[in-house]
A and B are shown apart, each in its own frame.
Chain A
Amino acid sequence: MSIAQSYRMRLRRKRFQARSWRKHFELKSVTNRTKKIRSLDILLFSTLRDEKVRLPYFLEYYRDRGVAHFLIVDNGSEDGSREYLAEQEDVSLWTTKASYLKSRFGVDWLNWLQRKYGHGHWTLVVDPDELFVYPFCDTRSIRALTDWLDVSQVRSFGAMLLDMYPKGRIDQVQYRAGQDPIEIASWFDPGNYTISKNNQYGNLWIQGGARARVFFPDQPKKAPALNKIPLVKWDRKYAYVSSTHMLLPRGLNLTYDEWGGEKASGALLHVKFLDTFTSKAAEELKRKQHYAQSSEYKAYAQSVQENPELWCNWSEKYINWRQLEILGLMSKGNWA
């Protein structure tokens, strides 16, 4: 990496920061309880729209694992998500009706919030349909993980997106508020992921899983990226580049070992495919606010009409993190 390239990356990072500053004017504070944040708290950042049914479980899941404060951007919800979140004592809420697309899928908004409130904290950036799983998550809190990462002088922690889906039609079972979505969407693809390295940013690009298998068997290149780096010891100099797939400075993207060893990593159980998905896909297709002209949603809408079943004979039923570690989807690294 030459000096010129490094400098270009620096400029790019500055540009993202300037952009997030510009975009922050779109945000309107609903409730700001950030005064409650104490110096070692683990913070969760999220953008959402019309996710009320998921919120009770989502908040409970992360509270249990030691998240102390939620900083959430509501992108014009109309289902009462905003009102529900405003009542929660550990949530600070902003709202905006501005374009999700033009804020680069919420990244600009969250970059700004992280810069302002996340400096010096471990920050977790997840969507309401993503459940963070990490080694020993059944017995140790996220704080145990971040303490260990601190001691190991590691600043970022990777967790790949694992698409979860139900057996049978996606819309067969109705999801009730507060229910563990894994009870319904309990299956995943265990061993069909492909990885290549992004030389520009140094991150890995992972594709595959159920979505590649069912929606993109003929255009694998278009299959969604599954690599994510959701947990970062934030510094105001950092910026997410595209969703939580990669960051700048590039060193934060090196969540993998290149010399044959394994670094510790986790997974984000992606419980998008519940009964709510069919209507959501139709709506998102109309709004055209998603990546690559919502091509993903186009593919979904087509296949979903025909036969919304992602399950196959070789799907694996989720048990716990140890199962994911044995399958080689995540790793304990040297954390014991």
Chain B
Amino acid sequence: MNVGIVMLVHTAFDRAEQVARHWSKAGCPLVLHVDQNVHNKTYNGFVESLSDLPDVRFSKRHRCEWGTWGLVAATQDAAQIMLDEFPHVGHVFTASGSCMPLRPVQELQDYLAAHPKTDFIESVTTADVPWTMGGLDEERFTLRFPFSWRKNRFLFDKCVKLQRLVGYERKIPNGIVPHMGSQWWCLTRNTLTSILQDPDRPIYDAYFRRVWIPDESYFQTLVRLFSTRVESRSLTLSKFDYQGKPHIFYDDHLQLLRRSDCFVARKIWPYADRLYEAFLNAGDGNAQRREPNPGKIDRIFSKAVDRRVHGRSGLYMQSRFPVAGRENGLTCAPYSVFEGFSDLFEDFETWLAKQTGARVHGHLFAQEKAEFADGLPVISGALSDSAALRNYNPRAFLANLLWNTRGERQCFQLGPRDVIKEIEWDISKDINARISVIAGAWAVPLFKSSASFVEVRREAARLQQIESKHLEILKSQWTKAQVKIWNMAEFIEAPMEPLQGIIEEVAREGSGLAEVPKMVDLTGFGQFLQNLRNQGMHPYLMGNFPVIHDTAEPQKPKPKPYLVQ
């Protein structure tokens, strides 16, 4: 028994001819169908070009538009000719002009000879397929589709909506169970004969003629009535993307296709010379009986679809610019924001960097410039510290910084003295932000400053107002960042615990705190606050400091740093 090829052709006739010759050379009879839309001159030329081959027939031409009955009718006619004229054909294999055999035809013939009673056709019920187009699965069998989906999408959609509205439903004949699957199948002579000779065929034909995309359901459904053994997979490697169009193979897929061990692949780009050269001229030297294994190709294509649909989180670029809410994260990786820490602790940045190995920047949004770690003027990604460039688009600045430093934890300082108005909402809504705030710590530099008290008072009032608005944002219902807020009084009461938490969070591995950052000397801070109060400014964010503050242990000036085991 042999395998006969039914080939549907509509473009790239030189390639179709090449492939037809390849099949023919291996002794496979061919029935070709050429789309009615193809110009007669082209058609005649094509027929002429294959006239020297034995066992090649051309079937009646139908108009084949995507998703229409014409494709089924063409396949039926061609299959009938195949069965009638070539009695030694045991399996009929459907292929298109852009399909290409990847393994020697002999191997396919052997494989089918080893499975004489098996029908290879992808055939699954609508409930089981995830790849339905246009959101239609079962409805493609119960509604009517007078308008073309490709050419007249608007009317198509309206028509579907209307039918849903009035509850219209077609009756499925003889209680058949609709199945769907790839139109590239390989059926046995018995099954195919039964389908084509079935006395009820006119009923089925009339029904499927009005089904949406019948070429993916006609044979797939009817095979279940007659087949003794359905192997629900296609022997043709054919991948579809999220729009339902087939992926195309190019020269650079050569190795991938080789390793797939599939018998036939589609679609091949007509200009992929290397592929045609490699597969059509290959000798049948390494004939090994391997099962087709398209797993690797699957992965590559599903990755591509994922890239198109979901993209890379935290990346803003020329072809990915999500509207608000669809970013899937403003930034690409978690980062920590510290507010007030560098005011309260001397050299907090150096200490944190030493403790965690993270990259700790100063005030990235400082008025004068972006204070990058180590005072660099330009950092990863050639990001400049120019305040003007940063303020031009602070959101992009932050997203860029994190994108450029992927793989390295970033931390930076923020405070009411910085340019925060443009960025505070973005940070608080960013799921990657870990914000730790010591409320009121901005007062410490003021406390240490030698400016006149009138100025200090004015500045304190300004900063407090900014920070209180900022804290409102951090506490708002839209905040997605992880926020921890302590007021200064409660923080210095027991600084170890929060610091330990921060280190653990930043460094991930909870190595114990070896060293506590050195806290600024706060003797007299309570009195300072009281002075502000006396001047009519009410400092409240830092919590309650008694006028003569009984300083907690860590902030006492000590000869040696405080050690914890």
Q: How far is the CA of A89 from the CA of B383 in the complex (A)?
A: 45
- A259 located at the interface, meaning its Cβ lies under 8 Å from any Cβ of chain B in the complex: yes
On whether A213 and B384 interact (CB within 8 A), knowing A193-B396, A314-B379, A334-B242, the answer reads: yes
Q: Which residues of A contact B304 (CB under 8 A)?
A: 332-336
Q: How far is the CA of A78 from the CA of B396 in the complex (A)?
A: 43
Expressed in whole angstroms, the minimum distance between the Cβ of B238 and any Cβ of chain A is 14
Residues of A within 8 A of B271 (CB): 141, 143-144
Interface residues of A in 205-241 (CB under 8 A from B): 206-207, 210, 212-213, 217-221, 227
Please name all residues of chain A whose beta carbon is closer than 8 Å to the beta carbon of B503 when the two chains form the complex. none
In the complex, which residue of chain B has the Cβ closest to the Cβ of A336?
Answer: B304
Contacts of B320 in A (CB 8 A): 256-257, 260-263, 331
Which residues on A sit within 8 Å (CB–CB) of B383? 191-192, 314
Q: How far is the CA of A136 from the CA of B315 in the complex (A)?
A: 21
Q: From B250, B305, B311, B316, give the contact of A195 (CB < 8 A).
A: B316
How many contacts A-B (CB < 8 Å)?
A: 176
Out of B300, B308, B381, B388, name the residue touching A261 (CB < 8 Å). Answer: B308
Which of A221, A258, A316: most chain B CB closer than 10 A?
A: A258
B382 touches A315 (CB 8 A): yes
When chains A and B are docked, how far (Å) is the Cα of A47 from the Cα of B307? 36
Q: Are A256 and B319 in contact (CB under 8 A)?
A: yes
Any A CB within 8 A of the CB of B39: no
**Interface contact B252-A136, CB-CB below 8 Å:** yes
Q: Which residues of A contact B388 (CB under 8 A)?
A: 217-220
Most chain A CB atoms below 10 A, which of B305, B320, B327, B379: B320
Complexed CA–CA distance, A212 and B381 (Å): 13
With A158-B319, A193-B396 in contact, is A332–B307 under 8 Å at CB? yes
Chain B: minimal CB distance from A250 (Å): 15
Q: Is the CB of A194 within 8 A of B318?
A: no
Interface locus among A52-60, A146-154, A294-302: A146-154
A313 CB within 8 Å of chain B: yes
State whether the Cβ of A197 lies closer than 8 Å to any Cβ in chain B. Answer: yes
CB contact between A160 and one of B248, B318, B379, B396 (< 8 Å): that residue: B318
B382 A221 Cβ-Cβ under 8 A: no
Tell me, in angstroms, the Cα distance from A331 to B245 when the chains sit together: 20
Stretch among B22-30, B88-96, B397-405 lining the A interface? B397-405
Q: Mark A268-311, 1 if CB is under 8 A from B, else 0.
A: 00000000000000000000000000000000000000000000
Q: Is A107 an interface residue when CB atoms closer than 8 A count as contact?
A: no
CB distance from A263 to the nearest CB of B (A): 4
Complex Cα–Cα for A143 and B245 (A): 18
Would you call B326 and A140 a contact (CB within 8 A)?
A: no
Contact of A329 among B248, B317, B382, B384 (CB under 8 A): B317
A103 to B387, CA, bound (A): 37
Asked whether A265 lies within 8 Å of B319 as measured between CB atoms, the reply is: yes
Decide if B386 is an interface residue (CB 8 Å cutoff).
yes
Given contacts A256-B318, A262-B320, A333-B308, contact A144 B250 (CB under 8 A): yes
A312 within 8 A of B: yes
Q: A221 touches which one: B243, B312, B392 (CB < 8 A)?
A: B392
B residues less than 8 Å from A315 (CB atoms): 382
How many chain A residues sit at the interface, stated as a range, is 35 or more
In the assembled complex, the CB of B255 is this many whole angstroms from the nearest CB of chain A, namely 12
Contact of B241 among A147, A206, A312, A334 (CB under 8 A): A334
Q: Do A257 and B392 form a contact, CB below 8 Å, given A312-B382, A314-B382, A336-B301?
A: no
Considering the complex, give the chain A residue whose CB is closest to the CB of B239. A336
| Contact across chains for A158 and B381 when beta carbons are under 8 A apart | no
User: Which size bracket describes the interface of B in this complex?
Assistant: 35 or more
- Min Cβ gap B402→A in Å is 10
Which of B251, B301, B315, B378 interacts with A213 by CB under 8 Å?
A: B378
The reply to whether A262 and B307 contact each other, CB–CB distance below 8 Å, is yes
A259 neighbours in B (Cβ, 8 Å): 322-323, 326
A160 to B320, CA, bound (A): 12
A190 near B: Cβ within 8 Å?
yes
Contact between A190 and B308, CB atoms less than 8 A apart = no
By beta carbon, the residue of chain B nearest A136 is: B252
B378 with A262: CB separation less than 8 A: no
B232, CB-defined interface residue at 8 Å: no
Query: Is B380 part of the contact surface with A, judged by Cβ < 8 Å?
Result: yes
Q: A213 contacts B382, CB within 8 Å? A: yes
Interface residue? B279 (CB, 8 A):
no
What is the bound-complex CA distance between A143 and B272, given in angstroms? 11
Contact indicator A334/B307 (Cβ below 8 Å): yes
Nearest CB in chain B to that of A213: its residue: B384
Contacts known (A314-B379, A333-B308); A195 close to B321, Cβ less than 8 A? yes
Residues of A within 8 A of B316 (CB): 195
A151 to B66, CA, bound (A): 13
Please give the residue numbers on chain B whose beta carbons come within 8 Å of chain A beta carbons, in ascending order: 241-243, 245, 247-248, 250-252, 269, 271, 300-301, 303-305, 307-312, 315-323, 326-328, 378-384, 386, 388-389, 392-393, 396-397, 400, 403-404
User: In the complex, given contacts A190-B404, A194-B396, A264-B319, what are 10 additional A-B residue pairs having Cβ atoms less than 8 angstroms apart?
Assistant: A190-B382, A212-B389, A220-B386, A221-B392, A256-B321, A257-B311, A262-B319, A329-B317, A331-B311, A334-B307
Write the residues of chain A forming the contact surface with B, with a CB cutoff of 8 angstroms: 136, 139-141, 143-144, 147-148, 151-152, 158-160, 189-197, 204, 206-207, 210, 212-213, 217-221, 227, 255-265, 312-316, 328-336
